[in-house]
Amino acid sequence: MRSDRVALSLVAPALAVALALAVSTLVLIVSGNSPEEVFGLLGEQLTRVGELTKTVNRAGPYYISAVAVAVGFKMNLFNIGVEGQYRLAGVVAAGAGVALPLPGPLRLLGVIALAVGVGAGWAGIAGALRAYRGVSEVISTIMLNAIAFGLTPFLLTRYFQEEAASGTIDFATRTAALPGGGRLPSLDALVPGGLPSGVHLNAFVILAGLVGVGYWVLVWRSRFGFDLRASGANPHAARTSGVDAKRMTVFAMLISGGVAGLVGLSSIIGAAPYRYTDESFLAGLGFTGIAIALLGRNNPVGIAFGALLWAFMDIARTPMSRADLPREITTIMQGITVLSVVVAYQVVSRIARRRDAAAIARQVDDDPEGGTSEPSGGAARVGSPA
Amino acid sequence: MAISRCRPPPSPEPVALAATPAVELRRITKRFPGVVANREVELTVAPGTIHALVGENGAGKSTLMKILYGMQRPDEGTIAVNGNEVSLRRPTDSIGVGIGMVHQHFMLADNLTVLENIVLGAEPRFPVLLARRRARDHIVELGRTYGLSVDPDALVEELGVGERQRVEILKVLYRGARIIILDEPTAVLVPREVDDLFRNLRELRREGLTVVFISHKLDEVLAVADTITVMRAGTTVATVDPAQVTARDLANLMVGHELPSPETRTSTVTDTVELSVRGVRVAGAGSRPALDGIDLDVRRGEIVGVAGVEGNGQSELIAAVMGLADVIDGEVHLGDVDITSWSTRHRRQEGMACVPEDRQRDGLLLDAPLWENAALGQQTEAPFANGLFFDRIGARRRTDEIVESFGVRTPNSDVRAGALSGGNQQKLLMGRELTAEPRMLVAAHPTRGVDVGAQAAIWDQLRQARADGLAVLLVSADLDELIGLSDTLVVLFGGRMVARLDPATTSLEDLGCYMTGTDPAGGGDLDVDAASAAAADVAPGADPVAPTAAERR
């Protein structure tokens, strides 16, 4: 039965991939593009160290963003506010991180702590509103996003902007660069065969890995995670079992926001320019994280595959346009993949349920006395039960 | 018992053993994925009789009736109505051949009148005014013929449960049904309403209608039916004459083996008060509190039964005891500790356990495996917790233990809880709460929707736990269960405790009176204030620890 379960859990992704490929091919044919050409290009990209490294670099923030969303999903909380949480956390961590009076690597920890703190705090507002005032976290995080989008440039220009060197006129809005101690070490040496010039392996991927392990331990192995999942699966039963729903809501949002705070650190502690600038700081990662969390079914390994796939398709845009193919193809294929995964898992879980029911029925059939094998010593309904 | 008193004089033998059967089901088989719900079922219902269909939950009664009412199609077998073979694809086909069904859960629109509800879906194609008059005449006539008195202009929301049921029956008659299926009609009724219902059924029989009556309350079936067919494990095992059998025989037929005889009752009640509720008030939806001035003690080894028509404060009492409700006044003590302000988790950790009213809603994670469900409520303690971590190995071991000793029928502990049958879910729940060896158990409807075999097992476990010193607060809608298991019985009405009774000397009628707010002495409305004062008087409760005068045994 357990091996059955493992087999079933492999069937679903296989089905999803097959479905995604089939629908994508169909869309390519209908839109007048050559599937061979597109898939050929993608296949070629798989063999290039440079493109693969870029994929991994891009997947790191995606992964963390998706984990942030997934933490909420595990408790039926929809944190749409990852976008605002990581932008705000990014600017504060970069701006205040420079000013931290900490030596060497401690500064790195300080920057990370700042990002986590700001993200958690911002999401915590939505958590508290939900727990104690009944405000839907969907609404409040959307509103908090809007506030964060305004607050971020305000903080940047007002408090964190790098002082222009005297005599020069510089309109660029950016923080000062983090000193060396606040940066992650380079991993370029680890890539076999070396990297093409201009490409670096961002050590941020290690942070993403740690977040993934932490997420797995917290949700699937800890007592807290049990309460979290129970609250998500059946809030009434969780409450009856002694879980404090309000407290769990606040904690889940704090954790989700704390993880979200890390998303923007990729270009602050992991790669050039090691500072916050409007140009280098990627926007939209929070919303992409929602799609990737769906793609990965909130599972730490699934999300990793989802993040890599998504990043791979992103990177494929440049070769596509170079080959005179519409670059939107990649976006369409990303969408098709998410839908395929949703459909495939639904189908497989139905099959699994049916098999469960059949297994139980078989067991009942094996026992012809059907329902009477209890060690009963009581009375029938006939008389009174005493 | 109320019902046995109204047993009719021996009814004339069903007129027509030779006549064409009203309904004849031959070799009906119905399979669902992985389950055979009905296998080779044979059922013959003589016209003009009340035919009861009894069996455990899951024995296939409901499926069979759904087939007869056209809601399910059989995979094999034939259906003949009044001698003609018919094909019933949908309920309208069944209505067309004169079969009507009264569902267990009423399907009435509260904001419409009786008349509107009855014609709803069967509106004649005449101008509205004329139709109304005709419909009213027809309904009044039906009511007169069959003794089903209901005011056609009354709003359904103002009717009691018994009256609503009469409306449902009228609805079926209005559509011209000559064969009426009633699905567990007495489940929602208090004893007096049951008597009324049975009078109505006999009236229908006298007018030549055929009634198929589904139930698992055997004494009721014996009181009203002309013929009884017993189902077990998806098939019909016997058709018997009620005059020739006892309830005990029927129960044995239903479960397929001899049931052990009831134990003699020995009191295990001690003097140690485990749970003490003092003057508790819980806010309700309106201005009236849902629960007011409740004084209650449960001692070690004692089962205190809480009776009442659903919605009279039982849920709030459970919630107040378990820390799930805001107690606005009064105190709850566990042993000699005031736990009023404790969280649910704290209460559980200190030895309180709860079998909730609605097991699927409040007690289980239907999509999670059994071993996670077994941990629910004890996830902070061994064997489920190991420091801050969840102990999966310990949880599985404990789950196997529960499955083994409480007879949960499942292939293994990785199965989703939702895949188990209701009875097995309940056994898992009871096992989970009792294996933790609590000091105090709140058990709400512990055998609701559970078949006879599992019911006996659960009663046994409760009795065993009580003998081992467990204090139990038992809330149930099953009066036999309450009277049979409880050492003390209290009645809630409108959020007040209106009676404290000794189950050994209490009659079902008196209990029914208190439950419906009727004065058992005079028959008028019960003076709730006086009654609750009297009930509280028995247990004067300033000091929660001192043994009170409540012990009347």
Reduced DSSP (H G I as helix, E B as strand, rest coil) percent helix, strand, coil of chain A, to 5 = 70, 0, 30
| Shortest CA distance from B249: residue in chain A | A382
Tokens describing residue B219: 């004494």
Give the pLDDT of residue B343: 94
Measured between alpha carbons, how far is B368 from B372 in angstroms, rounded to an integer?
6
**How much is the mean pLDDT over chain B?**
83
Q: B262–A383: do the CB atoms touch at under 8 Å? A: yes
Q: What angle do CA A49, A286, A19 make, to 5 degrees?
A: 65
Tokens describing residue B454: 């599992």
pLDDT reading at A286 higher than 70: yes
Strand-pairing partners, residue B327, are B282
- Four-CA torsion A274, A276, A281, A284, nearest 10 degrees: 130
Reduced DSSP (H G I as helix, E B as strand, rest coil) percent helix, strand, coil of chain B, to 5 = 35, 25, 40
Does A376 lie at the interface with B, CB-CB under 8 angstroms? Answer: yes
Q: A234–B219: do the CB atoms touch at under 8 Å? A: no
Give the pLDDT of residue A367: 44
pLDDT reading at B547 higher than 50: no
Does A7 lie at the interface with B, CB-CB under 8 angstroms? Answer: no
Q: What percent of chain B has pLDDT over 90?
A: 37
Tokens describing residue A333: 């294929």
pLDDT band per the 50, 70, 90 thresholds, residue B125: low
Give the pLDDT of residue A176: 87
> Which of A5, A221, A241, A351 is the mutation pick for testing B, counting most B CBs within 10 A?
A241
Q: A1–B483: do the CB atoms touch at under 8 Å? A: no
Q: What is the maximum span of chain B, computed from C-alpha positions, in angstroms?
A: 76
Please state which of the ranges A181-195, A297-311, A327-341, B1-15 shows the lowest mean pLDDT: B1-15
Q: What percent of chain B has pLDDT over 70?
A: 88
User: A with B: how many residue pairs have Cβ under 8 Å apart?
Assistant: 216
CA distance A378 to chain B (A): 5
| Shortest CA distance from A372: residue in chain B | B453
pLDDT band per the 50, 70, 90 thresholds, residue A164: low
Contacts of B184 in chain A (CB under 8 A): none
Does A234 lie at the interface with B, CB-CB under 8 angstroms? Answer: yes
HSE (side-chain half, CA atoms, 13 Å) at B154:
13
Please state which of the ranges A151-165, A277-291, B190-204, B257-271 shows the lowest mean pLDDT: B257-271
pLDDT band per the 50, 70, 90 thresholds, residue A169: low
Measured between alpha carbons, how far is B295 from B548 in angstroms, rounded to an integer?
12
Please state which of the ranges A16-30, B127-141, B225-239, B409-423 shows the lowest mean pLDDT: B127-141
Measured between alpha carbons, how far is B368 from B418 in angstroms, rounded to an integer?
8
Give the pLDDT of residue B126: 59
Give the pLDDT of residue B58: 64
Crossing angle for the helix pair A49-73 and A82-99, nearest 10 degrees? Answer: 110
Of B376, B320, B322, residue with least CA distance to B346: B322
Q: B324–A240: do the CB atoms touch at under 8 Å? A: yes
Mean pLDDT, residues B161-175: 88
pLDDT reading at B122 higher than 90: no
- Pairing relationship of beta strands B227-232 and B235-240 according to DSSP bridges: antiparallel
pLDDT reading at B15 higher than 50: no
pLDDT reading at A274 higher than 80: yes
3-state secondary structure A83-152: HHHHHHHHHHHHHHHHHCCCCHHHHHHHHHHHHHHHHHHHHHHHHHHHHHHCCCHHHHHHHHHHHHHHHH
Measured between alpha carbons, how far is B58 from B36 in angstroms, rounded to an integer?
11
Measured between alpha carbons, how far is B497 from B500 in angstroms, rounded to an integer?
8
Q: Report whether B65 contacts B25 (CB < 8 A).
A: no
> Measured on CA atoms in the order A135, A156, A109, A61, is the torsion positive or negative?
positive
Does A227 lie at the interface with B, CB-CB under 8 angstroms? Answer: yes
Tens digits of per-residue pLDDT, B279-318? 999 988 767 888 999 999 999 999 999 998 777 889 999 9
**Which H or E run includes A245?**
helix A245-262
Q: Report whether B115 contacts B131 (CB < 8 A).
A: no
Model confidence, pTM: 0.74
Residues near A195 by beta carbon (within 8 Å), at least 6 away in sequence = A49, A50, A53, A188, A201
pLDDT band per the 50, 70, 90 thresholds, residue A170: low
User: In 3-state terms, what secondary structure has residue B496?
Assistant: strand
Of B242, B193, B197, B205, residue with least CA distance to B53: B242
Measured between alpha carbons, how far is A324 from B451 in angstroms, rounded to an integer?
70
Of B460, B279, B439, residue with least CA distance to A385: B460
Q: How far is CA A273 from CA A81, A157, A285, B189, B331, in A?
A: 26, 18, 18, 76, 63
Q: A382–B246: do the CB atoms touch at under 8 Å? A: yes
Tens digits of per-residue pLDDT, A90-141? 999 999 999 888 888 899 999 999 999 999 999 999 999 999 999 999 999 9
What CATH homologous superfamily does B263-351+438-553 map to?
P-loop containing nucleotide triphosphate hydrolases (3.40.50.300)
pLDDT reading at B476 higher than 60: yes
Contacts of A2 in chain B (CB under 8 A): 414
Residues near A201 by beta carbon (within 8 Å), at least 6 away in sequence = A53, A56, A57, A186, A187, A188, A190, A191, A195
pLDDT band per the 50, 70, 90 thresholds, residue B4: very low
Residues near B366 by beta carbon (within 8 Å), at least 6 away in sequence = A233, A234, B360, B416, B417, B418
Give the pLDDT of residue B309: 76
Q: Which DSSP category does B408 fall into?
A: -
Of B185, B192, B187, B193, residue with least CA distance to B169: B185
Q: B460–A239: do the CB atoms touch at under 8 Å? A: no
Mean pLDDT, residues B15-21: 62
Measured between alpha carbons, how far is B22 from A14 in angstroms, rounded to an integer?
56
Residue A246 or B59, more confident? A246
- The residue assigned the tokens 């669902």 is B32
Identity of the residue numbered B466: R
pLDDT band per the 50, 70, 90 thresholds, residue A187: confident
**Which H or E run includes B297?**
strand B291-299
pLDDT band per the 50, 70, 90 thresholds, residue A4: low
Contacts of A383 in chain B (CB under 8 A): 247-248, 262, 484
Contacts of A354 in chain B (CB under 8 A): 33-34
Contacts of B379 in chain A (CB under 8 A): 223, 226-227, 230, 241
Residue B539 or A34, more confident? A34
Strand ranges across the sheet with B23-32 = B35-45, B23-32, B76-81, B84-86
ipTM (interface predicted TM): 0.84
Measured between alpha carbons, how far is A80 from A130 in angstroms, rounded to an integer?
14
CA distance B377 to chain A (A): 4
Q: Residues spanned by CATH 3.40.50.300 within chain B? A: 2-8+20-254, 263-351+438-553
Give the pLDDT of residue A381: 35
CA A263 to chain centroid, in Å, comes to 9
Restricting to A residues 341-360, those with a Cβ less than 8 Å away from any Cβ of B are: 353-354, 356-360
Tens digits of per-residue pLDDT, A95-105? 999 988 888 88
| Shortest CA distance from B233: residue in chain A | A370
Residues near A322 by beta carbon (within 8 Å), at least 6 away in sequence = none
Q: B361–A236: do the CB atoms touch at under 8 Å? A: yes
Measured between alpha carbons, how far is B8 from B6 in angstroms, rounded to an integer?
6
Indicate the residue of B256, B366, B392 with minimum beta-carbon distance to A372. Answer: B256
Strand-pairing partners, residue B525, are B518
Q: What percent of chain A has pLDDT over 90?
A: 63
pLDDT reading at A221 higher than 70: yes
Mean pLDDT, residues B332-345: 94
Q: A383–B484: do the CB atoms touch at under 8 Å? A: yes
Please state which of the ranges A71-80, A266-275, B247-256, B398-407 shows the lowest mean pLDDT: B247-256
- Pairing relationship of beta strands B50-55 and B210-215 according to DSSP bridges: parallel
- Four-CA torsion A221, A225, A231, A232, nearest 10 degrees: -80
Contacts of B361 in chain A (CB under 8 A): 234, 236-237
Q: B248–A378: do the CB atoms touch at under 8 Å? A: no
Q: Which CATH class is domain B2-8+20-254?
A: alpha beta
Q: A358–B217: do the CB atoms touch at under 8 Å? A: no
Give the pLDDT of residue B18: 53
Residue A13 or A373, more confident? A13
Does A382 lie at the interface with B, CB-CB under 8 angstroms? Answer: yes
Strand-pairing partners, residue B386, are B389
Give the pLDDT of residue A148: 96
Please state which of the ranges A1-10, B210-219, B265-274, B402-411 shows the lowest mean pLDDT: A1-10
Does A225 lie at the interface with B, CB-CB under 8 angstroms? Answer: yes
Give the pLDDT of residue B257: 59
Measured between alpha carbons, how far is B185 from B214 in angstroms, rounded to an integer?
8
Tens digits of per-residue pLDDT, A57-84? 999 999 999 999 999 999 999 999 999 9
Q: A378–B416: do the CB atoms touch at under 8 Å? A: no
Give the pLDDT of residue B144: 87
Q: Report whether A308 contacts A59 (CB < 8 A).
A: yes
